[in-house]
Structure 1
Amino acid sequence: MKNLEVFTHVSTAYAYCNRKHIDEVVYPPPVDPKKLIDSLEWMDDGLVNDITPKLIGDRPNTYIYTKALAEYVVQQEGAKLNVAIVRPSIVGASWKEPFPGWIDNFNGPSGLFIAAGKGILRTMRASNNALADLVPVDVVVNMSLAAAWYSGINRMMKTITRLHKAMVFLEYFTSNSWVWNTDNVNMLMNQLNPEDKKTFNIDVRQLHWAEYIENYCMGTKKYVLNEEMSGLPAARKHLNKLRNIRYGFNTILVILIWRVFIARSQMARNIWYFVVSLCYKFLSYFRASSTMRY
Structure 2
Amino acid sequence: MALVHLSTAYCRCELPCLEERVYPALHPPAKIMDMVRWLDDQTLDYLEPKMYPVAPSSEKISKTKIMDMVRWLDDQTLDYLEPKIIGTEPNTYSYTKALTESLVAEFGSKIPIAIARPSIITAIWKEPIPGWVDNLNGPTGLLMGAGKGVIRSMHCEPSYQCDAMPVDVVANGCLLVAYATAMDRPKEVQVYNITLSGVIRQTWGEIIEKGREMVNKYPLTVALWYTGGSIKSYKWSHQLSVVFTHYLPAYLVDGLLLVMTLRRLVKVQDRISHGIKILQHYTQKEWHFTNDKFLALQNRISEFDRSIFYIDVKPVNMNAYMRNYVLGVRQYCCKEDPSTLSKARKIHKVRYLADVAVKVFFYAMLLWLLVTYSYIFTSALETLETGLTNLSPFRSVKAYDIEELAA
Within-5 A mapping of 1:248-287:
none
Amino acid at match of 2:32: L
Give the drift of 1:67: 0.3
Q: Percent identity?
A: 44
Q: Contact between 2:26 and 2:53, CA under 8 Å: does it hold in 1? A: no
Provide the rounded CA distance (Å) in 2 between the counterparts of 1:157 and 1:90. Answer: 29
Match of 1:46 among 35, 42, 47: 42
Q: Contact between 2:116 and 2:177, CA under 8 Å: does it hold in 1? A: yes
Provide the rounded CA distance (Å) in 2 between the counterparts of 1:64 and 1:13. Answer: 9
Provide the rounded CA distance (Å) in 1 between the counterparts of 2:186 and 2:10. Answer: 30
Match of 2:182 among 142, 152, 173: 152
Give the drift of 1:41: 1.9
Which residue pairs with 1:220 in the alignment?
none
Which stretch has the larger CA shift, 140-149 or 24-33?
A: 24-33
Which residue pairs with 2:143 in the alignment?
113
Per-residue displacement from partner, 1:241-287 (whole Å, max 9, x unpaired)? xxxxxxxxxxxxxxxxxxxxxxxxxxxxxxxxxxxxxxxxxxxxxxx
Bigger Rg, structure 1 or 2: 1
Per-residue displacement from partner, 1:200-248 (whole Å, max 9, x unpaired)? xxxxxxxxxxxxxxxxxxxxxxxxxxxxxxxxxxxxxxxxxxxxxxxxx
Match of 2:163 among 133, 137, 140: 133
Provide the rounded CA distance (Å) in 2 between the counterparts of 1:153 and 1:117. Answer: 46
Which residue pairs with 2:107 in the alignment?
77
Match of 1:60 among 90, 95, 118: 90
Give the drift of 1:27: 0.6
Provide the rounded CA distance (Å) in 1 between the counterparts of 2:182 and 2:93. Answer: 29
Give the drift of 1:77: 2.5
Give the drift of 1:53: 1.1
Match of 1:23 among 12, 19, 24: 19
Amino acid at match of 1:8: V
Per-residue displacement from partner, 1:64-99 (whole Å, max 9, x unpaired)? 000000111111124311111110001000111113
Task: Report the secondary structure of 2:171's partner residue.
Answer: helix
Amino acid at match of 1:132: C
**Higher RCO structure (Cα 8 Å, ≥6 apart):** 2
Task: Report the secondary structure of 1:77's partner residue.
Answer: coil
Provide the rounded CA distance (Å) in 2 between the counterparts of 1:35 and 1:137. Answer: 34
Provide the rounded CA distance (Å) in 1 between the counterparts of 2:30 and 2:94. Answer: 18
Which residue pairs with 2:28 in the alignment?
32
Match of 2:124 among 69, 94, 107: 94
Task: Report the secondary structure of 1:56's partner residue.
Answer: coil
Per-residue displacement from partner, 1:162-195 (whole Å, max 9, x unpaired)? xxxxxxxxxxxxxxxxxxxxxxxxxxxxxxxxxx
Alignment TM-score, normalising by the size of structure 1: 0.50
Task: Report the secondary structure of 2:4's partner residue.
Answer: strand
- CA 1:131–1:42 in 2, change beyond 3 Å: closer, same or farther? same
Give the drift of 1:103: 1.1
Give the RMSD, CA atoms, in angstroms.
Answer: 1.8
Q: Contact between 2:49 and 2:90, CA under 8 Å: does it hold in 1? A: no
Amino acid at match of 1:110: T
Give the drift of 1:156: 7.8
- CA 1:118–1:76 in 2, change beyond 3 Å: closer, same or farther? same
Give the drift of 1:60: 3.4
Q: Contact between 2:123 and 2:167, CA under 8 Å: does it hold in 1? A: yes
- CA 1:30–1:104 in 2, change beyond 3 Å: closer, same or farther? closer
Find runs of 4+ consecutive structure 1 residues off by over 6 angstroms: none
Structure 2 gap segments, 5+ residues each: 55-88, 189-407
Alignment TM-score, normalising by the size of structure 2: 0.36
Number of residues paired by the alignment? 154
Give the drift of 1:157: 11
Which residue pairs with 1:123 in the alignment?
153
Provide the rounded CA distance (Å) in 2 between the counterparts of 1:55 and 1:40. Answer: 13
Task: Report the secondary structure of 2:118's partner residue.
Answer: coil
